[in-house]
Structure 1
Amino acid sequence: MKSPKSAPPSPGDRAAMLTVRRKHKMARSVHAFVRGNTSEFYDWLDGTEGRAIPQGPAIWIGGDCHLGNLGPVANAQGKIDVQIRDLDQTVIGNPAHDLIRLGLSLATAARDSDLSGVVTARMMEQLTKGYTNCFDEKTDRTKAFPSPDTVRVTIKEAVRRSWKDLAKERIEDTTPHIPLGRTFWPISKEERKAVEKIFEAKNLFCHITCAGIGNENTSVRILDAAYWVKGCSSLGKLRYAVLLDAETAGSGKTQRCLIDIKEAGPAAAPRQPGARMPQINGERVVEGARHLSPYLGDRMAAADILGRSVFVRQLLPQDMKVDIKKMPQEEAGKIAHYLGTVVGNAHARQMDREVQKLWKKELQRNRAKTLQVPIWLWSSIVGLVAGHEGSYLEHCRKHAFHAKP
């Protein structure tokens, strides 16, 4: 006999439950710990070892480029590309930080997949090669990079997905309500009014929706809204799922949409001294997304809920993450190379040719004779893996040792 499901918490009881859930999620594996612990990464960079990293050109960086934050996204016209899909930490900063963060994520994913150190070293070579090639003047960044089988399967799935697939995956149902339970919690009347107020803003909906639906006179009706317990590093911030009907432009018909509203907190990623960025965090996230991931950024908007900055976007069926639970050895190098090109392409499009040449020259300096990786990148990843391994074990001892399996 199954035990009855516990009721979702009231708005006032969220904080404690979210803290516990976040700590338990981070205890699942060292890779999960790395994904949910951006602050430790930047604490390390702020130390003596991190100061040895070269200062790259001042551009928008993702700030948290781990495996789960890369994947297929669709633009307003439905075209699909693999880009950075989570920009909470985006700032005008040092592109080397994105490269190191991705290298750390790949290295810990390799450890969780029981891959040898030799395979990991080769992955770092391929990551460097894929990233560096994006700054070659012969590279045509308008062409899609060849994707490994693991990524190609995800892209094919994204292409064929429909609204029903999105609804079943995200809200477990296609009916006009959001089922409360483990993933979705009730919101207060005050929160509901604040959510409704967002969609009263003229032009907001047409900025976040796909082509053919929204214009400044689009009529929007909210069907349901709930607090969304999602992610790991974002647990504890405001996050809402909103189900609504929008009138298709000029047709009189309605189309159902799932909207993601997420709080934009201060970025842990260090910004370049003197860099001019939006002071409001929601606007910072949207601006960074437009530079790094235009397919996503061009359908995002900043807003405000109860005095807290948020950003708003419509979730499309094609928006997915590259979910690699077990890294296949035969594809590890190809995956590293491909994801290096995704991040490299996001960086390169912000640089003119002369800046690209200088950055590529820096990336090719100081390589060891036995490893085609810059020494600063390899030593950073080694140091970060070692540090996170120890912190992960301490985290498990403190927060998950007595938890039920």
Structure 2
Amino acid sequence: MPAGEGAQAAVATPAETHARRASGKDTRKHVPRRSHAALGNVDRDPVALLELSSAGRVERLVPLRYGRMIESPFAFYRGSAILQAHDLAGTPNSGMTIQICGDCHLANFGGFASPERTLMFDLNDFDETSPGPWEWDLKRLTGSFVVAARHLRHKRGVAEELVYRAVRSYQERMAAYAGMSILDTWYDAITFERLMAQTQEPQVRKRLERGMERAAARTSDALLPKLSEHDGERWVIRDAPPAVFHVRGENTLFSPEDNWMKVADTGKALNEAFEMYTSTLSPDRRLLLSHFTRHDVAFKVVGVGSVGTRCLIVLMIDNHGKPLFLQSKQATQSVVARFFGSPPVEHEGRRVVEGQRLMQAASDAFLGWNDGPFGRHFYLRQLRDMKLSPEVELMDADMLGGYAALCGWVLARAHAKASGMALEISGYLGSGDAMAEALVAYSNACADQVERDYEVFVAACRSGRLEARTDADMAADFRV
């Protein structure tokens, strides 16, 4: 077929566009929007599921994971994506399976630099990304706003308004993407400059300006003196256990029985892993990295839900003495794949990378994957490159509402870009409040369940079934 004929055939006619939107609307007959109020399959032992998700982690760091989760129901929610995925598997779904984030709570949005050094606002955690129902992401998001609102002592009406703002924003933005070409959707990016141009509120503008200033200072150059010290001709990462330590150093939290402690030639293993990683990058990125020399590698504990998974930071220096910090993070089976039944993948690190590239407007220049010793899968990216996290504790109700609407927009853009199904999803959502009302009911019930699960979790820690230790407790073990 001549190229011109193929291009002509690919253009959607008004009738085809209408049919796609109508097919989404027709889905309501089988899965009414009100059905999304269902909480799902909560007849389970939350502690057993948490133990399942802790299997294979660094044994001495699992208590730190629980210690971070025990701080509040919101911290517990952040670290227990496995529970919600399990529960949602028992609910009706729209049947529109797309690439989803899988852990789309409000703290997994934030700012970071694009390869062109533009400060973006987007989803920034894809450890659980997988094909799944688009509404699972939306439910994870709205549930997080109610759990957080309760934690911050906001009234019920405030919490419900946050859900409305997030869902209505998602709905309206999805309708807008449904009217855009797929190429325009792919090019769409939510930058801090764009957010500044769209707001007239002095308080919001001030926060955006402050965020941009803070982001500009969060670079590898700034990290170098904070995380490392010069030792002769090399830079060495400083131990600060339990957060940072050398795997085979005197402050290690690895047990002697761990197979990582039995690697015969660590230098060779690191070189092989790095060679595989660079093979997943584009040629220009490989050339760029060839100007750097590896100086040191250390273990770094990150996040709440990821504590205990294997995460390394790699310090590299170029021939001008300038640093580059890479983060190598273990990737395990997605909780979405575990309970939704997504097709198996050959490499979990590649799953994370490809899901991230598909959903983000722009991804880290050094995003790639590799294998570690003994067949574990990893993905790599820059460490904290102009990265900003939302400070929801400092937001009042009005600002939280604006943040909820922003997260709804970001999620709609990510889903529209990743799926090309904005027409179908928008057709399903419609223009009324049916989905918002269903998710208000769902999110209130979800927050109630989180609080019940949290009580069971706390009781398990107090009884000794689980061990929970804080960062301060574990750091005290290393003080002389």
Alpha-carbon distance in 2 for matches of 1:85, 1:168: 25
CA distance in 2, matches of 1:194, 1:264: 18
Residue equivalent to 1:4: none
Give 1:226's aligned residue. 298
CA contact (8 A) 1:75 1:299 kept: no
Equivalent residue in structure 2 for 1:301, among 368, 376, 395: 368
Alignment of 1:163-312 (within 5 A): 163-167=220-224, 171=227, 176-180=235-239, 181-188=241-248, 190=263, 191=266, 193-201=268-276, 203-204=278-279, 207=282, 215=287, 218-247=290-319, 253-270=320-337, 278-296=345-363, 299-306=366-373, 307-312=375-380
Q: Which residue of 2 aligns with 1:24?
A: 67
Q: Percent identity?
A: 22
Deviation at 1:205, TM superposition (A): 8.8
Structure 1 residue 122 and structure 2 residue 161: aligned? Answer: yes
| 1:227–1:240 Cα contact (<8 Å) kept | yes
In structure 2, the residue corresponding to 1:296 is in which secondary structure?
coil
Distance 1:400-1:271 versus aligned 2 partners, 3 A rule? closer
Q: How does 1:150-161 map to 2 (within 5 A)?
A: 150=207, 153-161=210-218
1:322-346 deviation digits (Å, cap 9, x = unpaired): 2323441221211100111111111
**Pairing 1:104–2:147 present:** no
The 3 A distance-change label for structure 1 pair 105 and 363 is same
1:343 aligns with 2:411: yes
Q: How many residues align?
A: 374
Structure 2: 5+ residue runs without aligned partners?
1-56, 249-260, 471-480
Query: Equivalents in 1 of 2:452, 2:412: separation in Å?
Result: 30
Is the 1:73–1:296 Cα contact (8 Å) retained in structure 2? no
SS in 1 for 2:159: helix
Match of 1:55 in 2: 95
Q: Shift in Å at residue 311 of structure 1?
A: 0.5
Residue 80 of structure 2 is matched in structure 1 by 37
Q: Is the 8 A contact 1:60 1:91 kept in 2?
A: yes
Residue 445 of structure 2 is aligned to residue 383 of structure 1: yes
* Contact 2:74–2:144 (CA under 8 A) maintained in structure 1: yes
Change (3 A) 1:351 1:200: closer
Structure 1: which amino acid aligns with 2:173? C
Question: Once structures 1 and 2 are overlaid, which stretch shifts more, 158-167 or 220-229?
Answer: 158-167
For residue 55 of structure 1, give the secondary structure of its aligned residue in structure 2: coil
Dislocated runs of 4+, deviation >6 Å = 172-175, 271-277, 401-405
Call closer, same or farther: CA 1:202–1:308 in 2, change over 3 Å: closer
Partner of 1:362: 428
Relative distance call for 1:396 and 1:71 in structure 2 (3 A) is same
TM-score by structure 1 length?
Answer: 0.82
Name the CA distance, whole Å, in 2 between partners of 1:350 and 1:391.
Answer: 33
> Matched residues in 1 for 2:361 and 2:273: separation?
23
Asked if the contact 2:277–2:369 (Cα under 8 Å) also holds between the matched residues in 1, the reply is no
RMSD: 3.2
Q: Distance in 1 between matches of 2:171 and 2:103?
A: 19
The alpha carbon displacement at 1:112 in A equals 1.1
Q: Any idea what the Cα deviations from partners look like across 1:67-105, whole Å, max 9, x if unmatched?
A: 221111212221221111111100121111111111111
Task: Structure 1: give runs of 5+ residues left out of the alignment.
Answer: 1-13, 248-252
Secondary structure (helix, strand or coil) at the match of 1:349 reads helix
Distance of aligned partners of 1:155 and 1:65 in 2 relative to their CA distance in 1, 3 Å threshold: farther
Query: Rg bigger for which structure?
Result: 2
1:59 match: secondary structure: strand
Q: 1:217 to 1:18 in 2, by over 3 A?
A: closer
User: Per the alignment, do residues 172 and 290 of structure 1 end up closer, same or farther by CA in structure 2, a change over 3 Å counting?
Assistant: same
